[in-house]
Amino acid sequence: MAEEELATTGTIAEVGKISTWLTSNGFGHESLGKDHSGVEMIKVEGEVLLPIATALYAYGFNYLQCQGAYDTAPGGDLVSFYHLIKVTNDADRPEEIRVKVFLPRHNPKVPSVYWIWKAADWQERESYDMFGIIYEGHPNLKRILMPEDWVGFPLRKDYISPDFYELQDAY
- Residue-range domains of the chain with CATH: 2-136 (3.30.460.80)
E strands present in the chain = 30-34, 40-43, 63-71, 78-86, 95-103, 109-111, 134-136
Angle of helix 17-24 relative to helix 49-59, nearest 10 degrees, comes to 110
Contact criterion met (CB below 8 Å) for 142 and 126: no
* Per-residue confidence in pLDDT tens, the chain, 171 aa: 444 444 445 556 678 999 999 999 999 999 999 999 999 999 999 999 999 999 999 999 999 999 999 999 999 999 999 999 999 887 788 899 999 999 999 999 999 999 999 999 999 999 999 999 999 999 999 999 999 988 999 999 999 887 766 665 555
- Among residues 49, 48, 63, 60, which one has the least CA distance to residue 21? 60
**Reported pTM:** 0.85
d(CA 128, CA 118): 16
- Range 47-50 contact pairs with CB under 8 angstroms and sequence separation of 24 or more: 49/99, 49/101, 49/110, 49/111, 49/113, 50/111, 50/113, 50/116
Residue 79 to residues 43, 71, 164: CA-CA distances in angstroms? 10, 6, 29
d(CA 20, CA 92): 23
